[in-house]
Amino acid sequence: MAQHILTSTEDLREIVAEEVQRALTEALPRAVRAATTKPYLTTEEVREWLGVSERTIRYLTSRRKLPYIKRGNRVLFRTEDVLRYVEEGAVPARRAER
């Protein structure tokens, strides 16, 4: 956190408001996502979300590219693991040439 020299209570209010806004901007999307998504997904839900075949899901799990949980005959995926898998494939944008 940056150091500030306060000259008035209005300066303090402004700094606090900026820091609260920054904290909310960073934390709110994560909190909303966590509150509105299921913690675990079925193979069918992952298949639909990624737009791939069941065979592709089996391939990804067999190669340990997509973590999963097996309970009896049931295979489940943590939503956060699927999201992480998707984000690992992100390709950075090129800088605009001028």
Say whether 71 sits in a helix, a strand or coil.
strand
Question: pLDDT digit of tens for each residue in the chain (98 aa)?
Answer: 567 677 788 888 888 888 888 887 887 777 776 667 789 999 999 999 999 999 999 999 999 999 999 999 999 999 999 999 999 888 888 877 76
pLDDT of the residue at 5: 77
Give the predicted TM-score (pTM) of the model: 0.59
Residue 82 CA to residue 70 CA, distance in Å, equals 15
Report which of 73, 79, 70, 72 is spatially closest to residue 41, judged by C-alpha positions. Answer: 79
The reply to whether CATH 3.40.980 applies to domain 38-88 is no
User: Between the CA of residue 74 and those of 24, 34, 56, what are the distances in Å?
Assistant: 38, 23, 17
Q: Where are the domains of the chain?
A: 1-36, 38-88
